[in-house]
Amino acid sequence: MKEQIREHIGAAFMGGKGAPSDAQPLFTSGIIDSLGFIRLMSFLEKTFEVSIDVSQITIENFDTVERIARVVEASRRT
Amino acid sequence: MRGHEAEHDELKRAAAAFAARTLNDDVARRDREEDVSLPGWKACAEFGLQGMLVAPEYGGAGMDLRAVVATLEGLGYGCRDRGLVSSLNAHLWGCVQTLNDFGSAGQKVELLPGLVDGRWIGANAMTEPESGSDALALRTRARRTDDGYVLDGRKCFVTNAPAAEVFIVYARTGDGPAFSSLSCFAVRAGTPGLSVAPPASKMGLRTSPMSDVFFSECRVPSSARLGAEGSGAMMLMSTMEWERSLVLAVAVGGMEYQLEQCAEQVARRVAGNHPLRQRQAVTQKLAEMKLRLEAGRGLLYRAVELKRAGKSAFMESMLAKIALSEAGVANARDAMQIHGGYGYMSEAGLERELRDALGSTIHSGATEVLKDAVAMLLLAGSAGLAGRKGGGTA
């Protein structure tokens, strides 16, 4: 799952030139902006068939590949 | 979502009957004089409208979204005071739902009961002179102190501000990219440093008070912050998604009523020895009004079903908002035209409906900005392009 997320972010938001590391800031660095957030959420919901609780939607939870994967995994379990 | 279930139909009928019986007194004069109906507000609270979305432990009814939509459609059908309804929408989507989603247990206990029982009115202070639909460009600052924050800035076009007790305020707490530098606060009226300008005079929705709000060294405790610092933009987008999805559910009911009135007019009116019902130029307007109404309703229901499923509905909420706001204006325009000279008279109420509808293509995201955002999402999705930077449209 983490690799799918990493690959998607690299292709969608980094011009296909590489992909983010596990801990690379995504929103706080400006790699992903507000429209990017919408696209990312759509990708996560459709790809992993999850609904992410609004309480989990924070900058902290979505700023790295590692943390996004953790949120998606937790959403799958609920 | 194919129509409402029987119980939802009953909710819709009940809301329509309540509104027609209770909320329409003297609406023409109140519109002329920009007279806000606090008794109407209280009546709405007693009926349960302010508490539809709120859990019972905070005094609400915790209704399912389909039931909320049915109720709002009924309210729109029966209520001729669109200003009151506009204030209710701002309260629900800009304040109550934000607290529902992001408030701590303590914040919910402190704020929701008063917002539900009619004592308090909520407002959403987001727009600024330099940032409207491009909300992330806001400049109001919240500087961190040892025990809280100090807010400085100005918000404009704040619906309910002159009467609000609870302001949901978005401010910049960081200097990084906009999307990760905003935070959200719940600020009470009367907090030193918070001041509200006199009500502004508007073209329509004149029974809904609106003014600017100023923050000058306004100190708030850390406990006033909603959610995590820096997550304000995400919260704002969530709020806008709710608002754009549902703010015009009332317009669906309003357009239903309007169309019925127009159909009756066309069926009965004879002008110059010719029944209006035999004039295609007039009857086609009825069909066009129906098309716009049902297309907007479909998009509303689609957005609502996504929200019910806990899914994001950003595209769908924008489409619903665009469709219903533009439909509301076009239908109000047609309604006036169908009624001819009488439609132009203030007494008919149709010109007021048009004035009220015109604001909806601007608030909650102007049509042009929303269409731009829809197009950007489509372009990025279809070509697999990297997300475009800048233009932080919430």
* Gap between the Cα atoms of B233 and B136, Å rounded: 7
On whether residue B187 sits in a domain, the answer given is yes
- Is A27 in contact with B388 (Cβ distance < 8 A)? no
B381 vs A contacts (CB less than 8 Å): 39
CB proximity B379 to A under 8 Å = no
Q: Are residue B265 and residue B340 in the same domain, yes or no? A: yes
Task: Decide if A38 and B312 are in contact by the 8 Å CB cutoff.
Answer: yes
Q: Do residues B117 and B157 share a domain?
A: no
Same domain? For B190 and B283 the reply is: no
Query: Does B236 map to a domain?
Result: no
Judge whether A38 and B185 are in contact, CB under 8 Å.
no
Q: What CATH code is carried by the domain that includes residue B149?
A: 2.40.110.10
- pLDDT for B306: 94
Can you give the pLDDT at residue B382?
59
A38: nearest CA partner in chain B: B314
B268, B322: one domain:
yes
Across the interface, whether the CB atoms of B179 and A52 are under 8 A apart is answered no
In the DSSP assignment, the letter for residue A50 is -
Are B112 and B129 within one domain? no
B6 touches chain A (CB under 8 A): no
CB nearest to B233's CB, from A12, A34, A54? A34
Mean pLDDT for each consecutive 10-residue tract of chain A (78 residues)?
A: 94 88 94 92 93 91 96 90
- The verdict on a CB contact (< 8 Å) between B136 and A59 is no
Give SS3 for A77. Answer: helix
Q: B22 is written with which tokens?
A: 């209770």
Q: Are residues B18 and B44 in the same domain?
A: yes
pLDDT for B274: 85
Flag whether residue B77 sits within 8 Å of chain A, measured between CB atoms: no
Q: Is there a single domain that holds both residue B116 and residue B127?
A: no
Distance CA A35, CA B277 (A): 48
Reading the block at residue B269, the tokens are 């009116």
Indicate which CATH number applies to the domain containing B355.
Answer: 1.20.140.10
- Beta-carbon contacts of B248 under 8 Å, excluding residues fewer than 6 positions away, are B296, B300, B320, B321, B324, B325, B328, B360
Interface of A with B in 16-45 (CB under 8 A): 16, 27-30, 32-39, 41-42, 45
- The residue type of B157 is F
Domain ranges of chain A: 2-77
Task: Please give the pLDDT value at position B3.
Answer: 57
Residue in chain A nearest B181 by alpha carbon: A28
- B390 part of a folded domain: no
Q: Distances from the Cα of B145 to the Cαs of B142, B151, B219, B232, B331, in angstroms?
A: 9, 11, 9, 18, 52
Range of the domain at B313: 248-382
**Is the Cβ of A11 closer than 8 Å to some Cβ of chain B?**
yes
Scanning B101-160 for CB atoms below 8 A from A yields 101-102, 136
Chain A nearest C-alpha distance from B197 (Å): 31
Chain B residues within an 8 Å CB radius of A45: 311-312
Spatial distance between the Cα atoms of B203 and B129, rounded to a whole number of angstroms: 19
Asked if B111 and B135 sit in the same domain, the reply is no
Question: Among B71, B89, B121, where does a domain finish?
Answer: B121
- Residue B307 and residue B361 in one domain: yes
Listed residues B197, B230, B263: the one ending a domain = B230
Shared-domain flag, residues B292 and B213: no
Q: What CATH number corresponds to the domain at position B91?
A: 1.10.540.10
In terms of domains, do B211 and B296 share one?
no
Split chain B (394 residues) into runs of 10 and give each run's mean pLDDT: 76 98 96 95 98 97 96 98 97 96 97 98 95 84 97 97 98 93 97 98 97 98 96 92 93 98 94 88 97 98 94 94 98 96 94 96 92 91 45 43
Q: Does B373 touch chain A (CB under 8 A)?
A: yes
- Tell me how many domains chain B contains: 3
**Catalytic position from the list B73, B243, B316, B351:** B243
**Between chains, do A28 and B312 touch, taking CB under 8 Å as contact?**
no
Distance CA B347, CA B339 (A): 12
B75 and B20, same structural domain? Answer: yes
Catalytic status, residue B46: no
Superfamily of domain A2-77: ACP-like (1.10.1200.10)
| B303 CB within 8 Å of a chain A CB | no
CB atoms within 10 A of CB B281: 8
